Amino acid sequence: GYRGSYTIGREAQADAKFRRVARITVCGKTALAKEVFGETLNESRDPDRPPERYTARYYLKFNFLEQAFDRLSEAGFRMAACSSTGTCAFGPEQGGPADDKIWTSYTEYVFCRD
């Protein structure tokens, strides 16, 4: 999964400004996450997790979804599902600019290996 943000300007312009992905999180069995992502897996939030246990606290050291998808594909995974949400995080009523709305988003991809 990953969190991101985007801004839609005056009159909902068609060219929304997307910001880069802040962090790609990894949820799954520890041994499998290490197998797929190797040294690019940041384990600092759950460093002593046994290999047979699950975690949702790892994240990747890079911010490119394509790179994560490539690694999953090379390890024999395919995308099984995707879910996304976006909510307005800042608006004029909270003292923000009247012509822009800043949104946050969360997208989750589910991969499986046959």
> What DSSP element (H or E) covers 16?
none
Count helices and strands in the chain by DSSP H and E runs: 2, 7
The total number of structural domains in the chain stands at: 1
Confidence of residue 92 (pLDDT cuts 50, 70, 90): low
Domain residue limits at 70: 2-112
Give the integer Cα–Cα distance in Å for 53 and 86.
Answer: 31
Q: Enter the pTM of the model.
A: 0.73
> 19-36, pLDDT tens digit by residue?
557 789 999 999 999 999
